[in-house]
Amino acid sequence: MSQSTTAQIIRETLAAELRRDPRLFLMGEDIGAYGGSFGVTRGLLAEFGDQRIRNTPISESGFVGTAIGAAVAGMRPVVEIMFMDFITQAVDQLVNMAAKLHYVYGLNCPLVIRTAMGAGRSYGATHSQCLERLYFGVPGIKIVAPASGADFAALLQGAIADPNPVLFLEHKLLYPLRWEMPETPPEPVAPGSARIARAGTDVTIIGWSWMAFEAERAGASLADKEVEAEVIDLRSLAPLDMATLLASAGKTRRVLIVEEGPRTGGVAAEIAAQIAEQLPDGLDFPVQRLAMPDCPVPSARTMEAALMPNAATIAAAALDLATRV
């Protein structure tokens, strides 16, 4: 076993895939000699050269469109969008082109979009957003959001192997975290499966990305209060692993969904609706949600921390739900 940061795990996985498949190449702003804003691609240019590690202009619509064309032509592009906030610049390319190619023309579009998401670094309103809700529910786009070192490797391999578009979401706060990793890389995991991060019987806590990480910490603290929380790391937002979610909800009969983005109209709301529809008499109380308020992410560190769900606020909300009578 060896320790690696999340950023190193992503880099090593990309390098292994580049060595394995000559059709694979990377595109993005400053991903070459600079190594990307978070250092994820550092060193790859020296090994693979500028034909496979391609710096792009500041034009997300332009280079995502280029990648879509390359994917349709038989290449395997992996695009880095520096901050998820800027994925808005590529909405038309992704929603009206990449997502439709399979359905309308019978074409595959093996495209991976990697992007850094989330708050916690005081980057302000336009560099801290969780915008997965914009693409969640768009037919033809898969979305994965790992929360552990092994899953960053396994899900990235699975995303690259997928024949159609996958958004691969990387939370900024996860990049420096260290994980024990086996010498042999984990097997690929395709989009569509959740992970039971902690088994329990009293309350189900569902999260993804950084919120799944914080939910695990909350689950550990609840055990000290003799509350056994079942923590589910969603891993895949599209498609959802509703079988795992429904099995847990039916067992604990109390469900809390944690989302970093604004409360209204988010992924948590859709999951809550599906659980309510499919388990109409299976819960003791309505599904609860914990999320940021409906406002932009503040720049001030103290304000940002006050609004962002964390292990303590998750534990408090789960404890309240688990002990209701």
Full set of structural domains in the chain with CATH:
2-181 (3.40.50.970), 195-322 (3.40.50.920)
Q: Which residue among 60, 132, 230, 259 is the active-site one?
A: 60
User: What is the tens place of the pLDDT at every residue in 159-206?
Assistant: 999 999 999 999 999 999 999 998 888 999 999 999 999 999 999 999
277-298 residue pLDDT tens = 999 899 999 999 999 999 999 9
pLDDT value of position 183: 84
Average pLDDT, the chain: 97
Q: What confidence tier does 28 reach under pLDDT thresholds 50, 70, 90? A: very high
Instruction: Assign 2 a pLDDT band (cuts: 50, 70, 90).
Output: confident
102 is catalytic: no
CA–CA separation, 105 and 71 (whole Å): 14
User: How sure is the predictor about 115, in pLDDT bands with cuts at 50, 70 and 90?
Assistant: very high
47 is catalytic: no
What is the residue whose two structure tokens read 């720049």? Answer: 299
Q: Which entry of 17, 29, 80, 127 is annotated as an active-site residue?
A: 127
